[in-house]
Amino acid sequence: MKNTVTATNFKFPGQKKLYHGKVRDVYTLENNLLLMVATDRLSAFDVVMPKGIPYKGQILNQIATKMMDATRDIVPNWLIATPDPNVTIGEACEPFKVEMVIRGYLSGHAARQYKAGKRILCGIIMPEGMIENDKFPKPIITPATKAEAGDHDEDISRDGILERKIVSEEDYLVLEDYTRKLFQRGTEIATNRGLILVDTKYEFGKTKKGKIVLIDEIHTPDSSRYFYAEGYAERQAKGEPQKQLSKEFVRQWLISNGFQGLQEQQVPKMSEEYIESVSQRYIELYENITGEKFQKAEVSNILERIEKNVLNYLNTI
């Protein structure tokens, strides 16, 4: 697609390192700063799709910024500034090598495991007699190990994390506490917007001073699944699919086209019309979760815009 940013390779003042993630490009700068560019890349089943989605990076970045501001009173985070619609600058941290996944409902990966007959996920017992998209008696935390580039994230239990010394027990208790607090706040925000926060993931890091903080994104369509609250009970009672706002619709489209990220599977071709529909779904979620009209940024030359805005900000510090 034209006017999307799918790759960056800036040379910022004081730049020490550049890492290309699945969706974000991360620049390590001097003065303990980290600069994160949210690109328009689309990742599903740990595979980056060949084409970018217009405005996706801006949407992810702006939702994450708003949600970090809305949760800063309960959990500290890394955010310092957002000099561009696609850019966040924050305090450099040593990331924990786990993603803290929390699920309020039997959906997505959990539902697929359940349908396969499994009743234990990451050491947590899932009740018998559930159907897809039922609410759990209480939210369950199902962590995943952070994969190296090109590898799939793997489910892991709390005991597994501690046994492998991926995180110390003292720190893990903080991660669990922060995860539950963030999910509760996210649930409240979603409820006020007529949505249900179904499940989500959080990532945390430790600052140079040893403080545990929230990093990366929060409550975005890439990291979270939302249902519309209106009609949820009726759809469940009838066994109908839930109306949702998340990246799951992309996963389901890929599955229906024979792709689940397995070896030798080819990514199906995404038409311009389908890509535009994905962009519209992301905009829809932005407007629903924030309650604000989405303001499209100037995209005639996104890379030039990003570089200019970042340099202007760096010159002020």
Residue 58 has pLDDT above 90, yes or no: yes
pLDDT of 43 reads: 85
Exposure string over 290-311, b if 16+ CB within 10 A, otherwise e: beeebeebebeebeebbbebbe
Same domain for 105 and 209? yes
- With bands split at pLDDT 50, 70 and 90, how would you rate the model's confidence at 61? very high
- Residue 25: its pLDDT value, please? 95
**Separation CA 159–CA 47 (nearest Å):** 29
Provide the angle, in degrees to the nearest 10, between the axes of the packed helices 169-192 and 56-71. Answer: 110
pLDDT > 50? residue 1 = no
- CATH label of the domain that carries residue 122: 3.30.470.20
Give the DSSP per-residue string, 152-209: PPEE--HHHHHHTTSS-HHHHHHHHHHHHHHHHHHHHHHHHTTEEEEEEEEEEEE-TT
Q: Are residues 171 and 192 part of one domain?
A: yes
User: Minimum mean pLDDT among 86-95, 169-178, 240-249, 297-306: which range?
Assistant: 240-249
pLDDT over 80 (residue 248)? no
Residue 260 lies in a domain: no
| CATH at 28 | 3.30.200.20
Same domain, 108 and 182: yes
Of the candidates 246, 261, 292, which is a domain's last residue?
Answer: 246
Q: What is the pLDDT of residues 124-161, one digit of tens each?
A: 999 999 999 999 999 999 999 976 554 567 999 999 99
For residue 214, what are the CA distances in angstroms to 90, 106, 142, 247? 11, 25, 17, 22
Q: What percentage of residues in the chain have a pLDDT greater than 70?
A: 97
**51 and 194 share one domain:** no
Q: What is the pLDDT of residue 147?
A: 63
Q: Which of 246, 265, 297 is the last residue of a domain?
A: 246
> Percent of the chain having pLDDT more than 90?
77
Same domain for 219 and 103: yes
Does some domain include residue 268? Answer: no
Cβ neighbours for 2, distance < 8 A, ≥ 6 positions apart:
none
- Residue whose entry in the numeric block shows the structure tokens 């897809």: 132
**Domain interval for residue 37:** 15-94+275-314
User: Phi, psi (5° rounding) for residue 87?
Assistant: -125, 135
Give residue-wise pLDDT tens across range 296-314: 999 999 999 999 999 999 9
Is there a contact between 225 and 244 (Cβ–Cβ < 8 Å)?
yes
pLDDT at 18 over 80: yes
- Do 304 and 177 share a domain, yes or no? no
Asked if 178 and 171 touch (Cβ cutoff 8 Å), the reply is no
Structure tokens at 227: 């249902």
Last residue of one domain, picked from the residues 229, 246, 263: 246
How high is the pLDDT of residue 148? Answer: 59
For position 216, what pLDDT does the model report?
87
pLDDT reported for residue 140: 98
Q: How far is CA 173 from CA 95, 100, 167, 180, in A?
A: 16, 12, 10, 11
* Mean pLDDT (the chain, rounded): 93
Same domain as 195, residue 137: yes
Can you give the pTM of this predicted structure? 0.89
Task: Count up the domains in the chain and report the number.
Answer: 2
For residue 108, give the nearest of 177, 38, 155 by alpha carbon.
Answer: 155
**Do 84 and 184 have their domain in common?**
no
**What is the mean predicted confidence (pLDDT) over 46-74?**
93
99 and 175 together in one domain: yes
On whether both 145 and 212 belong to a single domain, the answer is yes
Residues 211 and 223 in one domain: yes
- pLDDT class of 262 with cuts at 50, 70, 90: confident
Residue 215 has pLDDT above 90, yes or no: yes
Tell whether 89 and 101 lie within a shared domain. Answer: no
Look at residue 123 and tell me if it is in a domain. yes
Q: Which residue has the tokens 């979270």?
A: 224
Contact residues for 308 (Cβ-Cβ < 8 A; gap 6+): none
87 part of a folded domain: yes
